[in-house]
A and B are shown apart, each in its own frame.
Chain A
Amino acid sequence: MPKVTVDGLEIEVPDGATVLQACELAGKEIPRFCYHERLSIAGNCRMCLVEVKPGPPKPQASCALPATDGQEIRTDTEMVKTAREGVMEFLLINHPLDCPICDQGGECDLQDQSMYYGRGATRYRMNKRAVTEKYMGPLIKTIMTRCIHCTRCVRFSEEIAGVDEIGAVGRGEDMQITTYLEQAAEHELSANVIDLCPVGALTSRPYAFEARPWELKKTLSIDVSDAVGANITLYSKGREVMRALPRINDAVNEEWLSDKGRYQVDGLMRRRLDKVYMRRDGKLQAAGWDEAFTAIAEAVAGDKGSIAAIAGDLVDCETMFAAKALLRACGSNLLEGRQTGMAYDVSNLAAVNFNSSFAGIEEADAILIVGSHVRWEAPLVNVRLRKAAKRGAKIFIVGPAWDTTYPAEFIGTDLAILNELPSHIAETFEKAERPAVIVGGAGLKNAHGKALALAAGWGAAFNVLHMSASRMGGLMLGYAQKGGIADIAEAKPKVLLSLGADETDYASFADSLKVYVGHHGDAGAHAADIILPAASYAEKDGTYVNTEGRVQFAEKAVFAPGDAREDWTILRALADALGVEVGFDSFGELQSAMIAEVPALGEEGLADYGALPEADKNTRAEGEISAYPVRDFYLTNPIARASEVMQRCSSELLHAGELQEAAE
């Protein structure tokens, strides 16, 4: 470990550290634009200049200079100060002074650093450079005159997202950042370049001119658009969520967020359920809470146990537990969360969990993916897979081909191939030191057992990649019947509580009174007999468990609109109407009851599901994967479907070709 001196302070730095990292370890702040911890080093902004001895007698870019033993680094000399001022002055020569109309204002690296390290006034008297506008799609708004050519966006697209979408043309002053032929950036993580851009060259199009960062309330939350459970901050103004930005959590989302998680929030303002509806004469009509509760009580009168609950994809554990407590008090155990009718075995939760953990899958050296369109089902896991591939992992995929962002081999859509793997694949896995198997939604039905057996045979980590934020929490709370949702339909419940379930086929519940407790008018609301307006993920506190079994807590950012109430209060009031006792009167009591029952939900972090079950060597996989469950990445949940931005993304990025064909 090299020893270096930073401003007279001697410290030891890890091998391979750069001078910039050494300075940070010593507690010195080094201004920078192009350097980013998660991207490769470009060294082209020159803002990080420091004085280093031994070496040439000129300031050096610390981000690209390895720290070596005996270096004497100075960050506080006159030379460093003038060097920084000089670099800043050059940057500002061609940067427009339009902070008052720039959306980056208040969270702009250039603004901040020019305050700290810049000269007080300009000496520039000539014309400034102007750059023509570029089009980067429905999410990214560009004002390219502001670009300072740090190339962070280029490096992100190449290195993290794995698509060569953004690039630079020209050199020096004439360099311009653009997408290829000015097409929209269309991968699922494209909007992360907005966060990365240190200036206002790339800003958020849907959020353009909506708010200033300092007027927004920040609430820590969890993304529910997929099962990754990315850590986000909701920025709200009044009772509207203005935007969602990722929070740093190296174990989950690192620093990124999928475009859906980021931009579905405008859906929170549309198609909202804000009053109670009841079906009268075949039509849904506005009603009062009391009427609705009475109707439900009448429906189950005499046979309280005839009540079932289906949990949707976005609900939190507290809601599911409140419904469970209600059903239990009524004497029913008809709970199900796998809306689409899946019925995989859940007797051992480790067998339906992503056991490698997201960070762990990066280390795998051979990965078999069975029936998962990872890029759409969990874009942030795809980033991890790409990292693994870069480290040399061999990746094989069973299922219809999709555009991977790394080298991978598609070995057909027939699951039977798992019974008789081609020799080169079998060999790869036998030789691999840290193999892993990932089973996705399309593979769970027919290949779950076989995949378990394969993993056991190779000593591979076994992973299931779910798609809905409530899945693991639901399974922990017992939202699973042996035969899946078919069991519930068979029980013919008089009342069916639907906790925001919009993917369920309600036709099989024709005789039940369907009570929809949810927040968006989607399929579930249309099928319902009674609608009780509830809160979305931004409008309630809640616990979520992601697909790797990580328990995370989200906070309430805004209030639910109109008459809508937090879900648990609705279920608590319903308990009174049904004349049963659920044992909690406040959210705190509800949570402690839940934690008493499932202790793992009380501790943030990975839940322990124990060992994998004994695999049955003789199971065989059969069947064909004709399609993946996610048909349209941008429209997978009721919030996203209500969101204008997501609709635009879907039509412009995914169905643009179809539109053109139709026009021709």
Chain B
Amino acid sequence: MSILGKIFTWWNGATIGTSLFTSRRGEKVGTDAQGNTYYRSKNKRDLNTAGSYSGGERRWVIYEGANDASRVPPEWHGWLHGAFDDVPESNLPPARIWEADYTPNATGTPNAYRPQGALEMGGKRARTTGDYEAWTPE
């Protein structure tokens, strides 16, 4: 990504400051199916002091594309929040065949769920109190 792109499309991926910090202090741990990359601090002295009660290691994600926290799948969400120490691949049981692929929250996007009565879906809803049937000349 060009430097200009980085400056002006701040909503995609990490900002310059975060990228710099990541390259100096971060250690790459893995990527998920969507290409989001997960990091943890290289040095013990970078213990997470900001907002952590446990003083555990600092973990973060750099998104591939839009910075939408709901794009983190549950297994990596667990890792990010310190629910377990190891990366998900080695820590969690393998996915079952009946498990559906993870999809981010679609609210606010064109893929969002719209009930039958929504205008985008044709606006045909069940009858409710106050609905009336208008007369037409035919």
- Residue of chain A at shortest CB distance from B135: A521
Report the minimal beta-carbon distance from A613 to chain B, rounded to whole angstroms: 44
- Contact between A284 and B132 (Cβ–Cβ < 8 Å)? no
Among A70-78, A196-204, A235-243, the stretch in contact with B: A235-243
Asked whether any CB of chain A lies closer than 8 Å to the CB of B23, the reply is: no
Asked whether any CB of chain A lies closer than 8 Å to the CB of B101, the reply is: no
7 intermolecular pairs with C-beta atoms under 8 Å apart: A240-B130, A271-B134, A273-B135, A277-B137, A521-B137, A525-B135, A562-B134
Chain B neighbourhood of A138, CB < 8 A:
none
- Contact between A239 and B130 (Cβ–Cβ < 8 Å)? yes
Q: How many residues of A contact B (CB 8 A)?
A: 24
Asked whether any CB of chain A lies closer than 8 Å to the CB of B120, the reply is: no
Chain A neighbourhood of B134, CB < 8 A:
271-275, 561-562
In the bound assembly, the distance between CA atoms of A615 and B78 in angstroms comes to 100
In the bound assembly, the distance between CA atoms of A285 and B136 in angstroms comes to 9
- The 7 closest A-B CB pairs, nearest first, are A521-B135, A284-B137, A238-B130, A269-B132, A271-B135, A239-B130, A240-B130
In the bound assembly, the distance between CA atoms of A270 and B137 in angstroms comes to 14
Asked whether any CB of chain B lies closer than 8 Å to the CB of A283, the reply is: yes
Report the minimal beta-carbon distance from B138 to chain A, rounded to whole angstroms: 9
- Residue of chain A at shortest CB distance from B137: A284
Chain B neighbourhood of A211, CB < 8 A:
129
Residues A528-565 near B (CB distance < 8 A): 561-562
Chain B neighbourhood of A448, CB < 8 A:
none
Chain A neighbourhood of B99, CB < 8 A:
none
Report the minimal beta-carbon distance from A239 to chain B, rounded to whole angstroms: 5
Report the minimal beta-carbon distance from B58 to chain A, rounded to whole angstroms: 54
In the bound assembly, the distance between CA atoms of A268 and B133 in angstroms comes to 9
Partner of A271, one of B129, B130, B133: B133
Report the minimal beta-carbon distance from A606 to chain B, rounded to whole angstroms: 37
Report the minimal beta-carbon distance from B107 to chain A, rounded to whole angstroms: 29
In the bound assembly, the distance between CA atoms of A487 and B136 in angstroms comes to 32
Chain A neighbourhood of B132, CB < 8 A:
240, 268-270, 272, 274, 561
Binding site for A on B (CB under 8 A): 129-137
- Contact between B135 and A269 (Cβ–Cβ < 8 Å)? no
In the bound assembly, the distance between CA atoms of A240 and B133 in angstroms comes to 12
- Contact between B129 and A272 (Cβ–Cβ < 8 Å)? no
Asked whether any CB of chain B lies closer than 8 Å to the CB of A520, the reply is: yes
In the bound assembly, the distance between CA atoms of A18 and B112 in angstroms comes to 70
In the bound assembly, the distance between CA atoms of A526 and B131 in angstroms comes to 23
In the bound assembly, the distance between CA atoms of A297 and B111 in angstroms comes to 53
Chain A neighbourhood of B137, CB < 8 A:
277, 283-285, 521, 525-526
Chain B neighbourhood of A268, CB < 8 A:
132
Chain A neighbourhood of B133, CB < 8 A:
269-272
**Apart from A283-B137, A562-B134, 6 more pairs, CB < 8 Å:** A237-B130, A238-B130, A240-B129, A274-B134, A285-B137, A520-B135
In the bound assembly, the distance between CA atoms of A269 and B131 in angstroms comes to 7
Chain A neighbourhood of B129, CB < 8 A:
211, 237-238, 240, 242
Report the minimal beta-carbon distance from A238 to chain B, rounded to whole angstroms: 4
- Contact between B135 and A272 (Cβ–Cβ < 8 Å)? yes
Chain B neighbourhood of A240, CB < 8 A:
129-132
Report the minimal beta-carbon distance from B126 to chain A, rounded to whole angstroms: 14
Report the minimal beta-carbon distance from B132 to chain A, rounded to whole angstroms: 4
- Residue of chain A at shortest CB distance from B131: A269
In the bound assembly, the distance between CA atoms of A452 and B128 in angstroms comes to 53
Chain B neighbourhood of A285, CB < 8 A:
137
- Residue of chain B at shortest CB distance from A283: B137
Report the minimal beta-carbon distance from A579 to chain B, rounded to whole angstroms: 30
In the bound assembly, the distance between CA atoms of A268 and B135 in angstroms comes to 12
In the bound assembly, the distance between CA atoms of A26 and B105 in angstroms comes to 69
In the bound assembly, the distance between CA atoms of A275 and B134 in angstroms comes to 9
Report the minimal beta-carbon distance from A538 to chain B, rounded to whole angstroms: 12
In the bound assembly, the distance between CA atoms of A274 and B135 in angstroms comes to 7
- Residue of chain B at shortest CB distance from A238: B130
In the bound assembly, the distance between CA atoms of A238 and B134 in angstroms comes to 18
In the bound assembly, the distance between CA atoms of A282 and B129 in angstroms comes to 36
- Residue of chain A at shortest CB distance from B127: A269
The interface centre, meaning the residue of B132, B134, B135, B137 with most chain A CB atoms within 10 A of its CB, is B135
Report the minimal beta-carbon distance from B86 to chain A, rounded to whole angstroms: 52
Report the minimal beta-carbon distance from A270 to chain B, rounded to whole angstroms: 5
Chain B neighbourhood of A525, CB < 8 A:
135, 137
Chain B neighbourhood of A277, CB < 8 A:
137
Report the minimal beta-carbon distance from B135 to chain A, rounded to whole angstroms: 3
In the bound assembly, the distance between CA atoms of A277 and B137 in angstroms comes to 9
Report the minimal beta-carbon distance from A2 to chain B, rounded to whole angstroms: 53
In the bound assembly, the distance between CA atoms of A271 and B137 in angstroms comes to 10
Chain A 433-453 per-residue mask, 1 if CB under 8 angstroms from chain B, else 0:
000000000000000000000
Chain A 21-43 per-residue mask, 1 if CB under 8 angstroms from chain B, else 0:
00000000000000000000000
In the bound assembly, the distance between CA atoms of A275 and B136 in angstroms comes to 10
Report the minimal beta-carbon distance from A263 to chain B, rounded to whole angstroms: 17
Residues A260-293 near B (CB distance < 8 A): 268-275, 277, 283-285
Chain B neighbourhood of A273, CB < 8 A:
134-135
Chain B neighbourhood of A284, CB < 8 A:
137
Report the minimal beta-carbon distance from B128 to chain A, rounded to whole angstroms: 9
In the bound assembly, the distance between CA atoms of A122 and B7 in angstroms comes to 74
In the bound assembly, the distance between CA atoms of A270 and B132 in angstroms comes to 6
Chain B neighbourhood of A526, CB < 8 A:
137
Chain B neighbourhood of A275, CB < 8 A:
134
In the bound assembly, the distance between CA atoms of A239 and B136 in angstroms comes to 21
Chain A 202-246 per-residue mask, 1 if CB under 8 angstroms from chain B, else 0:
000000000100000000000000000000000001111010000
In the bound assembly, the distance between CA atoms of A389 and B27 in angstroms comes to 103
- Residue of chain B at shortest CB distance from A270: B133
In the bound assembly, the distance between CA atoms of A12 and B41 in angstroms comes to 97
Report the minimal beta-carbon distance from A652 to chain B, rounded to whole angstroms: 22
- Residue of chain B at shortest CB distance from A526: B137
In the bound assembly, the distance between CA atoms of A242 and B128 in angstroms comes to 12
In the bound assembly, the distance between CA atoms of A240 and B132 in angstroms comes to 8
Report the minimal beta-carbon distance from A275 to chain B, rounded to whole angstroms: 8
- Residue of chain B at shortest CB distance from A521: B135
In the bound assembly, the distance between CA atoms of A274 and B137 in angstroms comes to 12
In the bound assembly, the distance between CA atoms of A521 and B135 in angstroms comes to 6
Report the minimal beta-carbon distance from B106 to chain A, rounded to whole angstroms: 32
Chain B neighbourhood of A238, CB < 8 A:
129-130
Report the minimal beta-carbon distance from A417 to chain B, rounded to whole angstroms: 46
Chain B neighbourhood of A271, CB < 8 A:
133-135
In the bound assembly, the distance between CA atoms of A269 and B132 in angstroms comes to 4
Chain A neighbourhood of B130, CB < 8 A:
237-240
Chain B neighbourhood of A274, CB < 8 A:
132, 134-135
Chain B neighbourhood of A269, CB < 8 A:
131-133
Chain A neighbourhood of B136, CB < 8 A:
521
Chain B neighbourhood of A239, CB < 8 A:
130
In the bound assembly, the distance between CA atoms of A239 and B135 in angstroms comes to 18
- Residue of chain B at shortest CB distance from A285: B137
In the bound assembly, the distance between CA atoms of A268 and B134 in angstroms comes to 10
- Residue of chain B at shortest CB distance from A277: B137
- Residue of chain A at shortest CB distance from B136: A521
In the bound assembly, the distance between CA atoms of A285 and B134 in angstroms comes to 14
Report the minimal beta-carbon distance from B137 to chain A, rounded to whole angstroms: 4
Chain A neighbourhood of B131, CB < 8 A:
240, 269
